[in-house]
Amino acid sequence: MAVDVMHHNVPDIFARSEDCLETYKVLIAFVETLDGSAIEEKKASVHVVVNNAAYLGVHPRKNGLRVTIVLERPLGGEAIKIEQVSKKRFYNDVDMNLASFDDHVKAWIREAYKLKVADSRAS
């Protein structure tokens, strides 16, 4: 079940280290600025969704987070893993911490968000 981003509690899985917890808090604070985003808690991760479609997968790591960003393109060198899941969809896995959560990452997240919003309007 999705929970509004502004009303969710930090899942215990993100409290494994201070770096992980702080990076998660900063990521979620940014996601709060994107209208209609919600959190779906899974066993070992969370999905950030808009209109019931995930645009981010967030996984805890000792030194921060591994974030899967769903885009229409591969990110290239910035991603540690890229999986093409359909003709126009790529899962781009990016490791991040507080130091690497910059304007580039925010732009990728905004791009993924806008893609899912556009998809829901086209349906």
In 3D, which of 68, 19, 12 has the Cα closest to residue 41?
Answer: 12
**Which structure tokens are listed for 100?**
């690497």
Q: SS3 for 99?
A: coil
Beta strands in 62-107 (DSSP E): 64-71, 81-86, 89-96
Could you list the residue range(s) of the whole structural domain that residue 9 is in? Answer: 2-122
- pTM comes to 0.91
Gyration radius (Cα) of the chain, Å: 13
pLDDT reported for residue 46: 96
Tens of pLDDT, residues 49-107: 999 999 999 999 999 999 999 999 999 887 889 999 999 999 999 999 999 999 999 99
Domain count along the chain: 1
d(CA 99, CA 121): 35
User: What's the half-sphere exposure (Cβ side, CA atoms, 13 Å) at 16?
Assistant: 12
